[in-house]
Amino acid sequence: MLNFNLSDEQVAVQKMVKEFVDNEINPYIRDWDEKGHFESSILRRLADLGLMGVCIPEQYGGSGMDYNTLAIVCEELERGDTAFRTAVSVHTGLNSLTLLQWGTEEQKQKFLVPQAKGEKVGAFGLTEPNAGSDVAAMQTSAVLDGDHYILNGQKTWISLCDVADHFLVFAYTDKSQKHHGISAFIVERTMPGFSSKAIKGKLGIRAGNTGELFFDNVRVPKENLLGKEGEGFKIAMSALDNGRFTVAAGAVGQIRACIEESLKYCHERKTFGKEIGKHQLVQQMLAKMEAGYQMSRLLVFRAGCLKNEGKRNTRETSLAKWQACDFANEAANDAVQIHGAYGFSNEYPVERFLRNSKAPVIYEGTREIHTVMQAEYLLGYREDKQLSNPLPAWPFEQKETIKN
């Protein structure tokens, strides 16, 4: 029998993050959004709560909680604003969990441990100006030169571009091999030839830090190669399984925020002599939000359960990401409609919710890419095989930490 109840630990984490959002984010987010300001101190405070490595094993500096607890954290953070859920998605989902899955013990000790503790921040560099859904179109290259790889190229739409200390970067080591010629590297901000630049004028997630990375003859030590040469595409796709999971969980939180704000307004606003919540067409929009919320949450937890068991979950995570983000976009649109003219103003947060809801429909696999993926699974054109080194199942087996 399936048990949909949260554990006592999960309830405690949910309460803690909700209170944090209500006290540390919601009172200031309108101002941060207006100014396009990323409040990086939030990351330090999340680290103090043990949330920058929530599902990283304790032996590597994390809190050792399960993957659905990570989903709960992302849901609560996005109830405040997408910018801070995005930070956890990138730092934990795309970077740290990838190091946990593919890194050597030395790499885990050097990079994963300080990231899980929140002492360092990790980011992810895959997208390029001409390479988004078409990963093989990337131009960034890595040429072996003695004990180093020389990286040249550019990445764009990189979250935490000006904040992160470590970047998981993908580059061609053999372009003639196409997907099989891509490799993954851990690049450190302090390496000469590396630079970053924020992108301004975004439609949404204005309180987040997003931008470009530049590599001008950056010398990366051979020991910073993640996995083997040519495994980069496989590593990137496994990373996206984790990133998409957190994006889907965040979308659940945005739907909930839309419901909460709409319910509040429905009781405050009166038209034709009664609360607008009494009007059936308003009720219809609220009912759609609730249906989207419940369905999305179930899809996310289903994927999380597979992660907890150490099983491949590409198909399930794709479906959760696609549907939850679409539902969140629809919920935000309906929330603005319920608020009427006031929804068109930043006097109410639903205007920000609508702007923020568009990016997740695009990044980490567009709606169209996920549609094709799901159809190909049904048609038998696509089949997932268990990876040779899957993400560790939970509860994590505790090993003696190697001492430096």
Catalytic residues: 364
Question: Is the separation of the CB atoms in 258 and 295 below 8 Å?
Answer: no
Contact 230, 236 (CB under 8 A): no
Question: Kind and range of the H or E element at 133?
Answer: none
Strands 166-172 and 122-125 turn out to be parallel
CB within 8 Å of 181: residues ≥ 6 apart: 172, 173, 174, 175, 230
Q: Of 78, 66, 394, 50, whose CA–CA distance to 251 is shortest?
A: 78
Structure tokens at 131: 């390479």
DSSP 179-223: GGGEEEEEEETTSTTEEEEE----SS-TTS-EEEEEEEEEEEEGG
Task: Check residue 111 and report its DSSP letter.
Answer: I
